[in-house]
Every structure is written in structure tokens, then in C-alpha cells.
Amino acid sequence: MKQISKTRQPLPSISIATPAQIRTGGKGMEIRWGITDSPFGKCFLAETSLRISHLSFLDNDETESLETLTKDWPDADLQRDDELASSTSQRIFTEDRPPISLHIRGTEFQLKVWRALLEIADGELSTYGRLAKRIGMDGAARAVGNAVGRNRISYIIPCHRVIRENGVLGGYRWGTTRKKAMLAHEKAKLIIRP
């Protein structure tokens, strides 16, 4: 009989944006951003001091992602660095991903939801209701859905693993085709042992 065991990427270490960083709009911070390839199409990556702070996917150009980054950190020193983005993408999307670090900006509630997303194993799915229950806030599925939608670090914080209560995939900020591809990619990584 064959046994299927799920793979699990190492959980990223998380650095939370300080109140001072948020209050000053990132003044004094250097954020390097770039455009690169990924298994799911072109992506936009941004890093603060070698901590990933933004990962989004592009269907057109980088305008929307760059506007979001600028809105989050209006006074930071933003510098384009496609070479760094390419190197980071290779680390993120490799089968045996090394530990990575994230720099996250969010409310206490959003951080709870994003940490709960990180606990969903590769190849598994959850619903907004189950996520709400996991963080001890039964009945807060809608608020959880809003927090999932505010995730700035796609794929690594796996918002693509959340489906509707009725089992339908539901929407995804970067399209349901991309969401299906991500889920299929993760299922393909399941290890089958004799």
C-alpha cells in the first residue's frame, strides 16, 4: 500500500513593521523592488533589508503593484533591482525552499489571519470560516476574508489555499486560473512512498 505524506516548506521568519516605520511612511527605509519570472507568470517582488515585504503577480505591467508599495511606504527610498528580484524568486519557488524572512505591515487582526494561513500545509485547503475558528473568532469569516485579501506577500503567505464554504475555489486577486495552477503545483509536490 502506498502512503502519501505532505511536504511542508519551512515557515518564514516574520519581522513586523514597527509603529515608527508605519507612522513615518518608511522614512529611512530602503526598499528594493523588481520584476521577474515565476512558475505562475511575471511577479513583482520587494524587499527591505533582505526581508520580503511584497510579492504580487502581474498580468500587465508593474504600475498597480508599484502604486500599492508606494502607498504602503510613501517615504521609503524605493530602488528598482530586477537582479535581486530574480535571485529571490529562485529561492521562493524552488522545490526545497530555504528559510526566508518576511517584513510584514498589518493590523493585529490581519497578522493573526496571515499566521493562520502559514499553518495550512502544502496541498491542503481551508475556508474563511475555518480560519476564523482557528484564530478563535468564530463568526468572523467576512473579516477574515478581508484580511486574506489584504495580504501583500502572495504565495508565501498562502491566501490561494482558501476556498469558499461550499467548496468552490472562489475569487483570487491574481485570477482563478493562477490559483488553480498554484494548487495543482502544490499537489504535484506531495511525496508518494511505497
Provide the 10 A C-beta neighbour count for residue 6. 13
Phi-psi region of 123 (alpha: psi -120 to 50; beta: other; left: phi over 0): left
Q: Which residues contact 22 (CB under 8 A, 6 or more apart)?
A: 105
Please give the C-alpha separations between residue 78 and each of 20, 21, 67, 105, 134, in angstroms, as whole numbers: 18, 15, 11, 16, 36
The amino acid at residue 122 is D
Task: Pick the catalytic residue from 69, 159, 162, 163.
Answer: 159
159 catalytic residue (yes or no): yes
Among all chains, which residue has been given the C-alpha cell 511536504?
7
**Strand partners of residue 126:** 162
Provide the 10 A C-beta neighbour count for residue 188. 8
Which residues form the catalytic set?
Answer: 159
